[in-house]
Copies of this chain bind each other. A is one copy, B any other.
């Protein structure tokens, strides 16, 4: 079967069912594509010569170019005919946005069966039906149809996101755009008549632009293949899954939503554990974990140092880490003595290492060197409190250049995750730290869960025998 890369990087796209009326799906979708897409674009509509400046033809067969992807937004009852025409024209694949298939009952299911038949006959691939399709910032491929006033589109980044739910997927993209989180590939496959999680996983594990794969799923059909694929993929790239329909009531809701059987959560949970999947329980966790896994190496063990300017936050960080089963070990006498030498007399050098609100930049810079060189921890939670008087706007630069120097000396990278609780001033420096490679969270509780993801993934890679390969590939000093 044909691969699916052409869906994300097509040279030629035609929108079948393009519309001249603002507000209609066929208009908004074309408008998005026209603005974002870098390849050649055509519209298909028997009543127009051009729409939004895009050349328009009465039918797909009239389009004077080799079309890679036909984006189909015609009414459900016309979709099979369009597929037939696309097949004859040699179109590689269809993205069927239209609804009115399996999700609406037996008549729709029969229509979906016929659609699949046509797609198979011509060796095409199909995303959908009943989906919002794909969004790829790099190629500009964008089949989302929400008007741009209502929907933001994130820039290029290292996170791939596949969502069984189109509405949730759109909302998440919109949220990611606002938060400044980048996306490599987004895909919503709706009814999954052809392309499903298995195809997407196999594609994304090879995709050089994707560092972390995130999935929102309600239920899967090809269960065995899904798990086998996960088992392979997670050896090379982290996969974070948000699975809903976990409770009985939720599963009932999922079944009436997409018709997919959610299955017992205990079964899913055991399977995910066996396959090295990092499980998230909310949208925020999905991206918190993905951000940490993309920016930082997995942890080689479960010992965490907490380096803080605020005593209270250090206590909360410790609680949160220990709650998750991680260790916040008291540092050795030798390390404590070294810390005492560089810190303020009333600082606390044990772990949490609390440099106190009277600290200046250099206290954090010296402390991180001692902590990293001690070899006594496998990860660091860093709570800089940019707002206190002694911390300067140069902190991130000074801290991270020292960190890099130490990594050179010790010959490996220890994961560091940051916390920046505060308002607008703090947010500026938190974003700066992120642009320098340290994921920053608003609270120690969220940072602790992100560290847990790094620890779990490190454990999985070791068990899989791919830890060293992974580090060498992505996190060489």
A interface with B by C-beta (< 8 Å): 23, 25, 103-104, 146-147, 149-152, 163-168, 170-172, 174-178, 216, 218, 242, 244-250, 252-254, 256-258, 281-284, 306, 309-316, 318-323, 328, 346, 348, 350, 352, 354, 357, 385-389, 421-427, 442-446
**A354–B248 CA distance with the chains assembled, in angstroms:** 17
Please determine whether A167 and B385 come into contact, CB atoms closer than 8 angstroms.
yes
Number of copies: 2
Docked-complex contact A318 and B253, CB < 8 angstroms: yes
Of A258, A385, A423, most buried by chain B (CB within 10 Å of CB) is A423
Which residues does chain B contribute within 8 Å of A103, judged by CB atoms? 346
Most B CB within 10 A of own CB, among A247, A249, A284, A421: A249
- Give min CB distance, A287 to chain B, whole Å: 11
Given contacts A168-B421, A310-B165, A311-B258, are A318 and B249 in contact (CB under 8 A)?
Answer: yes
Of B152, B168, B257, B350, the residue contacting A348 (CB under 8 A) is B257
When C-beta atoms are compared, the residue in chain B nearest to A258 turns out to be B311
Contact of A150 among B176, B284, B425 (CB under 8 A): B425
Complex CA distance for A103 and B345, rounded to whole angstroms: 12
Is the pair A167, B357 in contact by a Cβ cutoff of 8 Å?
yes
Using known A-B contacts A146-B388, A151-B387, A423-B152, determine if residue A315 contacts B175 with beta carbons closer than 8 Å: no
- Distance (Å) between the CB of A124 and the closest chain B CB? 27
Task: Say which residue of B172, B314, B350, B387 sits within 8 Å of A421 (CB atoms).
Answer: B172
Q: Judging by beta carbons under 8 Å apart, are B386 and A319 in contact? A: no
Contact between B178 and A424, CB atoms less than 8 A apart = yes
16 residue pairs A–B, Cβ–Cβ below 8 Å: A146-B389, A150-B386, A167-B310, A167-B312, A171-B387, A244-B312, A246-B319, A249-B328, A253-B352, A254-B315, A256-B350, A282-B316, A282-B445, A282-B446, A283-B421, A283-B443
**With A and B bound together, what is the CA distance between A314 and B216 in angstroms?**
14
Centre residue among A146, A147, A257, A357 by max chain B CB count within 10 A = A257
Check A311–B257 contact: CB distance below 8 A. yes
Find the B residue at minimum CB distance from A319: B250
Q: Which residues of B contact A318 (CB under 8 A)?
A: 247, 249-250, 253
